[in-house]
Amino acid sequence: MKTTFKIQLTRIAPGRMVLHFGCLLRGGRWEFHWAGMRRELKAIVKPIVRFTAIGGRSRQILESR
């Protein structure tokens, strides 16, 4: 049964990771949930990498002036 809390967790990548981890602890399918955790981790890390890359470029532009 889905609770309101679980439904709220599905709306953000870290929450989906928590749900996949919880299923693993209860004996869920390892391959499926491990792939889901990696996918959600990529969704968290990718914007951070993009942001730092953009910040680095703008810093280089300012320093070259």
pLDDT at 8: 92
Instruction: In whole angstroms, give the CA distance from residue 44 to residue 41.
Output: 5
Residue 65: pLDDT over 60 = no
Instruction: Reduce the DSSP state of residue 65 to 3 states and report it.
Output: coil
Over residues 5-44, the pLDDT tens digits come to 999 999 999 999 999 999 999 998 999 999 999 999 998 8
Token duo for residue 56? 């680095």
Instruction: In whole angstroms, give the CA distance from residue 20 to residue 28.
Output: 9
Record the pTM.
0.67
pLDDT at 29: 93
User: In the predicted model, what is the mean pLDDT of residues 45-60?
Assistant: 72
Q: Where are the domains of the chain?
A: 4-64
